[in-house]
Structure formats: C-alpha cells, structure tokens
Amino acid sequence: MRKNMNKKSVRTRRIKEYDAYHHIKPTQYAHAYESITRSARIAQAQGVSTCPVLLISSMDVDALCACKMLQDLLKQDSIKYRVIPVSGWKELSKVADQIRDPNSGYKEVLLLNLGGQVNLWEFFELPSRVRLHVIDSHRPYALENVFKSGIDFKEYEDDPEDAPELVVWDDGHVIEDLQEEKTAFEAIRFMPDSDSDNSDEDSSEDELGMGYGRRDDDDDEEEEERDDQSQGSDQEKSHKRKKKKKNASPKPAGLTRRERHRFRARLQKYYDSGTYFGQSVACQIYLLVTLKSAEDNELLWYVLPSLTHSYPIEQVLAIIGLTYQFTSSLIDRETYDAQVTLFQREVERINILPRDAGTTQSCQVKLLGPDDRNIRLSEELRFTLFRHWNLYDSMFHSGYVAGKLKLWREKGRKNLQGLFAKMGISLLQCQQSYTHMDMDLKRTLTEKVESIAPEYGLFELSFPSFVRAYGYQSVLSASDCIECISAILEVATGVKLDFNSLHGGHGTVSIDDQGQTGTLWDCGRGVRRWTELNDNTTSQVTVEKENIAADGSKAPGEPSAKSSKSQKEEVWWVQNFWIASDALSTDPTILRAALPLSMALHKSIIRQGTSMLDKQSIKTLRSFRLAVIKEGPDLQIFTHPATLTRLGLWLVDAVRDLIGAAGTSKNNGRTKKNIAKSFPFVIASLDDARDCYLVVGVNGAMQYGDVRKNKFGAAFQEAAHVSGARARHDRFEECIVEVRKDDLMNFVQKLHLSL
C-alpha cells in the first residue's frame, strides 16, 4: 500500500512540475538548465544514452550566438551533446524522426530560435522520457505549446516519469501579454458547447461577459425527477443513481454561441496580428549564465550582436545577439536602448577600465596594451564597416545614408561629396583605408559628422553600441561582427561573389554547383582553385557535430560517410554554419578574414538595389510595392532568404522618405495616420536551378527606428490557396515562401487582393 501511495505522490509531483514548467519565467532558467544536466547525467550514468542533449539551431546570428553559449555551459558541466543546424521545416522533420528513434538516446532537446510558431506536440510526436525546450524569439507563439499539455497522463499513470514534456522559455511575454488569449484558448478547449442553441436569455449577461460558467440548477433537478419516475419500479437502482450524482463532480458549464464566437475571434485576432520578435535568444541564454554565476565576457559580447545585426565571451555573444535584432529591423529603437542600458551595467561590472577608457564618444578607442580584450560602450555611426573600409564606401553602402541622400542618383552622390567638403575631408582622405586616415580626423570624425549631417537630413547617424579591443589590432564593433557572421552564413561557400573591386580581398567565393573552375574564399588563408577542393570539401563537412568522448566513441545514429545527392546540394549552408561557429571564438582571425567577404556582399546588394531604382522596376500596387529580380550577374546570391531580405530592407530605407514626402503632399502637408503606419514591400528573386521564385515580404515602418508587425505570412498562405499556385513554405520565417516560376503572377494578383 505504501508503494502505491509513493507512486501516486510521484505522479502528483510530476504533474505539478509539468504544469509549472509548461512555460517558465526568466527567473526559472537556471532551474530548467539544472534539470537538463541532471537528466543528462542520469542517462549517461545508466548507459541509456551516450549523447543525451541535442541542440537544434536555426541559421541566423542570434541562434548561433545562443548555441555557442550553451555549448560552453555544457562543456563546463561535462555533458555530452550534439548540434544540428537546420534551415527549414523539412530538415527539422528529419531531425524529429531521429528523436523518435528509440536508439537515438536523446533526452533533452533544445530548439534555438525556431519552432515556437507551430504546434510542436503534433510536429514532433514526442516519445516517452524526452523533454523539448523551446527558446525562440519569433512571435506569436502557438498557444498549444504554451497552454496545452498535449498528452494524456492516464497513459503514464503506472510510470509518470515516462511522460514527455514541452517547456517554453518565456521572456515575460506570456504572463504580461497573453492572459486574455489564455482565457479564450482554455475556454474553447475545455468548455463544451451549450446544450441549448437558444442563448437569448443569456444575451444581457453575454454582453457583460457574465455568461461564462453559468449553470441552470432548475433544469438539472427536473431531469433528475424524470429519471426517478421512469425507474420507479427499481428503487435500489434509483437510490444508487442519486447517490452517484451527489458524489460526482459537476459537468463543466457549456459555452453559448456568442461566447464561443467571442473567444474564437480573440484567438483569430491574436494569430492574424502579424509576426514580430521578442527578446533575443542570445540574451535569454546570457541571463541563464548570469543566474548560474558563470559570467564570461565572451558570452556577453555575442549577445550584443544579435540585438544590434559578455563575461568576456558570454558578454560578447550576448551583445552580438541584441545588435543583430536591431540592425535587422526585428526590434525598435526603444526596445534596443532599454536592453543596451542593462548590458552597459554588465560591461562596466565585468570590464574594469580607467574612467577615460571605459566609454568613448569618438570613433577612436583608447587601447590599454597588447593584452587588452575589454568591451567598451561606444556611440556607433551608421556607416558600414567604416573602421575596416574607406569612409566613402562605408557611407555609400549604408542603407540609412543612401535613403536620405538618394545615392542612386547623380545629385545624391554630389550631396555626399558636398558633405565631405563641409566636414573638411578631402576625397583623397575619404577614399583611402580608415586605418591610414589622419589621427586627428579619426578623433574628431563623430563630432564633425553630428554637426554637419543634420543639414542633409541625417538626424539619426549614431546609436549606442559596444566595441571590443584585441590588443593593438583594430577594434571590432558588435555591428562589424554581425556583418561578418551574416556574410559567412550566407555566402562563405555555395555562390560566386566578385572580390575584384576590393582592396586586399582574399579571392572570390565560388563553390559552384556545376563544379566550374573558380577561386574560393577559405577564411583568409589564401586562394586556391575550386577544382583542387572539389573532391575534399564535401567529404569533410558533416550535417551535425557533437563533443565526442575521450575514447573517440560517438552517439548512435551517426550518418554514413556516403551522402546522397540532395545532401551534397545542401552541404554548403551546413559548412557555412560551422565556419561561422568557429568564427565566434576568442581568436578574431576568421572574423577579420570575413571582412572582405562582407564588403563584397554589400557591394552586390547595393549594386542590385541601385539598378532596380535606376530602371524604376519597383511596381506600386494598392496594398504593397513589388520588385522582381529575373536576371543579372548577382542573381544566384539572392536565392538565399537572408540576402534577399537584406536587399528588401535596403530598398525600404532607400524609398521611405520618397513615400513619406508623397503622402504629405497629397494631404496638403498633413500626413494621415493610416499613411504613416507601415510600408509593405514584396521582393522576389528567380532561382533558375529550381525553376521557382523566392519571395520575401517586408513590412517597413515609415519612421526610421520603428518596427511594424509583418502580416505577409498569413497573406502568402491565403494567396497560394486561392490562386492554386504551387508554393512551398519551408522557412521558419512565415514571410518567406517559394513559388513556382509559372505561378508567380497569379500568386501576386491574389496577394494584392488579400491584403
């Protein structure tokens, strides 16, 4: 009997723990991580699994920074893990099959910046004793992940420890913002329909919200009386039935039509409001690090770039994650500034610097010596890679400067030259490398820019950020790191990229699908012919990595050395992921080698955008603006969703002021509120090899620094359904879709009507 009591108490504790961990608050991150390590150690000690922890990362800077921090934490705790990068739902589905394999041995699975927008209970069909952690900045959440258990505990009544779990690492969004959605979701899920279709009697109560949970006791008494009369010949059964009714719990009250309609409308409004982003996942993991008191400057650094786009490595990673969100227009300026203030305190706490070296309002950073690895708060200019490029090119390739000065026009380029002249900078100075500019000019550059730039409409040329020193080498800002990591993820291998116009370039990226001869960017170690590497590159790249035991043993389920043709086609982006992962280390060699790669990518983006503006190939429709890329030397580059999104954001920056000016003139100088809300933009690029178009929807804000929710996800799905277009939505971002080449125009027409 005591054994049964213990089993019952274990089951009760299990259910309570499960309910408490269905979504966890930031203050519970450390406890959740402890449960991960405890479960992994038990599995390793019992020989149940040789690799109990699986990290599944999306292909973006924020997720990569979070993944690096988690790897460091798991290594410190001697936990074996495996990392698998995925670029879309198709690859994630394959990983889900591995998890369901009883021989895989995975006990703790962590999703990094992916998965939160779909019902993961249905997608993964989790096996017993597997816990799935969702750490995702994408919003809105699928409410099934947050408020629904997804399993029947009766199946695990004999052994409650076998029940699978799903844990959402919340940043405070659920508790603060989703209480009405929670009420609506639980009402529709748990409350049956009302027995009576006539809800007139409840109409006044419904309007006041009082009909919820109402029960008519008189009707129950009449039903009981009729039952007793019909069974009057059997008094014993009637007595038992009455006793059973008294002891039984009351049935849940039904929902009236009006209540059900109201709750469904609330949920529909929640999902139709559009996609947006919450806290950077790198910042969430850094919070875990601080709660564990395992502070590291590197981790802090990599959190900041994901916010712009510590504990020395932890601080670095966290800063990168934050900056990535800001520079990629995923969060607004107000949110970014609030996060920067918090990280400033962390930087000042961990990096002990002299007062005159801790914060800089100048582009020039005071270095303390060859061993200086400190992070400093800095007021960064919106110039692309300006510390590593020349001043003219860095301003020319800035989306903000290009949009304000209209640099795709001859008049705009003359205005840029006039700006330099007013600042007292000769064309010779601004066209030479920043490192060779006069020291006095470097020290006064920020002051000169801020005093002259407003005359040209450049009012927001700087933003607070962070830089990191590497001895006497040039410093790297969070934005610099984001540019380099993004370029590696997008074009380090797999496409051809022109380096000829760059000074000091390391070759051209040209891992060609057809095996053609070319030169290869190989992390700055020199340039070799692609034909020399063709046989080696694919065989050296694996789809997944793990920390292997000292004896060399590997976890079960390791893929065979022979890859299928489809795996070879996809291997380039997997290789890019691991190169980017290696770049996020204390040694900045790969990051610095990627600077020319990032510059070449920027040149391709601006060249394509300028060409589209010159040719006036952007169509203005009633609901959005449309740009289609069908040809050009850089066509292959824009088959990558992140690169095409970058081009879309640059075009939004370029024509934002034109739209605002047009809206103001049409309304006699008074801009209407509906005009100033958002700026929808759709850009499509042809992928000849796959006979389809990659389509990206961007919803820019009319005010620089603001962010608007993106409603293209639902609109794309509706347009594909109504038009019958052959479309595939395989990316984790809902605003990205692939449409068959012949179906694009029909798809666009229906999209025009659905928005």
> How does pLDDT run across 520-573, given as a tens digit for each residue?
455 544 333 322 333 333 333 334 555 444 333 344 344 444 444 445 456 788
Pairing between strand 138-139 and 108-112?
unpaired
Domain 2-171 CATH (choose: 3.40.50, 2.40.10, 3.30.1400, 1.20.120): 3.40.50
Low-confidence stretches of the chain (pLDDT < 70) are 1-21, 149-160, 192-254, 293-312, 353-368, 498-570, 660-676
What digits encode the pLDDT tens for the residues 115-139? 999 999 999 999 988 999 999 999 9
Alpha helix (H) residue ranges in 211-256: 217-230, 235-247
**697: β partners:** 682
Neighbours of 254 (CB within 10 A): 18
Closest CA to 476 of 645, 650, 323, 345: 323
- CA dihedral (96, 98, 100, 101) in degrees, to 10, reads 170
Write out 577-596 in H/E/C secondary structure: HHHHHHHCCCCCHHHHHCHH
What pLDDT, on the 0 to 100 scale, is given for residue 617? Answer: 92
Q: What pLDDT is attached to residue 565?
A: 42
Amino acid occupying residue 590: I
Determine the pLDDT at residue 715: 94
379 phi, psi to nearest 5 deg: -90, 100
Residue 755 has a pLDDT of 77
How much is the pLDDT for 86? 96
Q: What is the assigned CATH class of domain 616-754?
A: alpha beta
The alpha carbons of the chain give a radius of gyration, in whole angstroms, of 29
Torsion sign across C-alpha atoms 688, 690, 693, 696: negative
Ranges of H-type helices in 632-755: 641-666, 712-723, 744-754
> 424 CB contacts (<8 Å, ≥6 apart)?
448
Helix axes 530-540, 565-583, angle to 10 degrees: 90
Q: What is the DSSP letter of 436?
A: G
Q: Give pLDDT, residue 186.
A: 87
Q: Give which of 717, 654, 662, 661 is closest to 681, Cα–Cα.
A: 654
Q: How far apart are CA 407 and CA 400, in angstroms?
A: 10
Identity at 402, one-letter amino acid code: A
Spell out the domain ranges in the chain.
Answer: 2-171, 383-459, 492-548+568-600, 616-754
Residues 6+ apart with CB under 8 A from 356: 366
CA distance 459 to 400: 10
Residue-level pLDDT at 365: 67
pLDDT at 363: 61
Give pLDDT, residue 40.
95
pLDDT confidence of residue 226? 47
| Per-residue model confidence (pLDDT) at position 656 | 85
**Local structure of residue 526 (DSSP, 8 states):** -
Q: Are 734 and 117 in contact (CB under 8 A)?
A: yes
